[in-house]
């Protein structure tokens, strides 16, 4: 540009030796063609031939897998576990929970202590007894807040004279019946007589034992189901609740974790219990829909006995599964010690925790 300007200036000075007039607003100015860019010469940017696509969404983190062993066959008392699964509440907490039924109820805690399963169900009295035997187990949640077992006695209800109850032949299915209720029914003086028949282990089959007249009473039967099941066999029964035997109130169904890994997996158990809490509240708010979802997911539950028990089970579901009643657990420890079943009392922190506080 500078060279062209010089050339034009020189040419102008050769043709017009006279002095150049000053420029005004009306002066015609001729711009050299070299300074113009013609339309044809403009570089038009090419339009991209492919549209840019957004980046693919990030894959959600994988769900943490948790295995849970039930205390026995699936039943309405396990509703919160099933509803949490069917409504996707575990997945919302980043968990994938596999619910297993044991072939033998006595193995659930054994598998938990061996690390073969992550969680297991039991009753509070059994938690205390196993913990005193050294099992590394801790309660992290409560599903049912009242005892689900009782003494189931054949025949019509009579005046509960101590002599009448002491004269019965008892069977039991767990340490709860053997160590807690039977000693309250059979005084030591009766057990020392020559004609005394010791209680028998029913190996979780009380119906057969009662059908064959091997026993007169089950020391720890599920009172929502066993009397109705026996009725279908033509066997009438009546129930003696544990509080009538001065056994302290206790949690009927609790979730156990391995205490050796409790601190390391605290966040997982907190998320698990949150899912249970959401499920429990939904069940209470929608009892009919909850029942339909329960039997739709597991048709084996759909029978008259379970349906008749559903309304009473609803009243016993824990709405705050993580909440821990320290007084209840400490009191039960004192009771066991006073009965002579334990040499000392364990601190509540060894037996049960609120996983949200870990």
Residue that has been written with the tokens 């001729």 in this structure:
30
Residue 219 has pLDDT above 70, yes or no: yes
pTM for this model (two decimals):
0.83
Are the C-beta atoms of residues 139 and 352 closer than 8 Å to each other? yes
Per-residue pLDDT band at 1 (split at 50, 70, 90): very low
Residues 252-269: what's their mean pLDDT? 97
- CA-CA distances (angstroms) from residue 47 to 14, 42, 55, 261? 50, 15, 21, 61
SS3 169: coil
149 phi and psi, to 5 degrees? Answer: -115, 160
How many whole angstroms separate alpha carbon 12 and alpha carbon 30? 12
Alpha helices in the chain (DSSP H): 2-15, 79-86, 89-92, 107-113, 124-132, 162-166, 175-176, 182-185, 188-191, 206-211, 226-231, 266-285, 287-297, 304-314, 326-338, 348-351
What pLDDT, on a 0 to 100 scale, did the predictor assign at position 16?
47
Residues 325-352: what's their mean pLDDT? 97
Residue that has been written with the tokens 């048709």 in this structure:
299
Are the C-beta atoms of residues 102 and 148 closer than 8 Å to each other? no
| Beta-strand pair 170-172/200-201 | parallel
What pLDDT, on a 0 to 100 scale, did the predictor assign at position 189?
81
Encode pLDDT of 274-283 as tens digits: 999 999 999 9
Q: Which of 26-40, 63-77, 81-95, 183-197 has the lowest mean pLDDT?
A: 26-40
Encode pLDDT of 163-205 as tens digits: 788 989 999 999 999 999 999 999 888 888 888 999 999 999 9
Residue that has been written with the tokens 């209470």 in this structure:
284
How many whole angstroms separate alpha carbon 126 and alpha carbon 130? 6
Per-residue pLDDT band at 308 (split at 50, 70, 90): very high
What pLDDT, on a 0 to 100 scale, did the predictor assign at position 315?
96
Encode pLDDT of 206-216 as tens digits: 999 999 999 99
Q: Which of 171, 164, 155, 173 is nearest to 217 (CA)?
A: 171
User: Would you list the DSSP string of 174-226?
Assistant: SHHIIIIIHHHHS-HHHHTSTT----EE-TT-HHHHHHTTS-SEEEEEETTTH
Enter the DSSP assignment of 339.
T
Encode pLDDT of 98-157 as tens digits: 999 998 899 999 999 999 999 999 999 999 999 999 999 999 999 999 999 999 999 988
Q: Which residues contact 41 (CB under 8 A, 6 or more apart)?
A: none
């Amino acid at each position: 540009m500078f060279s062209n300007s010089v050339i034009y200036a020189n040419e102008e000075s050769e043709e017009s030796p006279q002095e150049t007039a000053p420029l005004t607003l009306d002066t015609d100015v001729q711009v050299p063609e070299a300074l113009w860019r013609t339309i044809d010469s403009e570089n038009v940017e090419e339009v991209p031939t492919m549209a840019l696509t957004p980046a693919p969404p990030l894959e959600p983190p994988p769900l943490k897998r948790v295995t849970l062993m039930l205390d026995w066959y699936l039943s309405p008392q396990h509703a919160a576990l099933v509803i949490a699964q069917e409504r996707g509440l575990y997945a919302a907490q980043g968990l994938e929970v596999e619910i297993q039924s044991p072939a033998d109820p006595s193995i659930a805690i054994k598998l938990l202590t061996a690390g073969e399963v992550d969680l297991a169900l039991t009753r509070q009295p059994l938690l205390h007894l196993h913990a005193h035997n050294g099992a590394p187990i801790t309660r992290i949640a409560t599903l049912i807040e009242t005892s689900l077992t009782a003494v189931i006695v054949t025949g019509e209800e009579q005046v509960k004279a101590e002599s009448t109850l002491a004269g019965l032949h008892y069977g039991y299915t767990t340490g709860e019946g053997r160590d807690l209720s039977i000693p309250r029914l059979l005084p030591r003086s009766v057990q020392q007589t020559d004609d005394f028949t010791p209680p028998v282990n029913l190996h979780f089959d009380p119906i057969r034992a009662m059908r064959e007249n091997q026993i007169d009473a089950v020391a720890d039967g599920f009172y929502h189901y066993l009397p109705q099941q026996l009725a279908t066999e033509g066997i009438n029964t009546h129930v003696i609740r544990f509080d009538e035997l001065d056994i302290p109130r206790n949690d009927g169904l609790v979730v156990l974790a391995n205490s050796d890994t409790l601190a390391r997996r605290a966040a997982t158990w907190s998320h698990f219990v949150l899912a249970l809490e959401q499920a429990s509240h939904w069940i209470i708010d929608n009892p009919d829909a909850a029942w339909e979802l329960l039997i739709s997911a597991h048709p084996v539950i759909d029978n008259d006995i379970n349906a008749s028990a559903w309304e009473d089970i609803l009243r016993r579901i824990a709405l705050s599964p993580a909440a821990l009643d320290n007084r209840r657990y400490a009191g039960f420890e004192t009771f066991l010690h006073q009965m002579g079943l334990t040499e000392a009392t364990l601190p509540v922190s060894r037996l049960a925790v609120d996983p949200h506080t870990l």
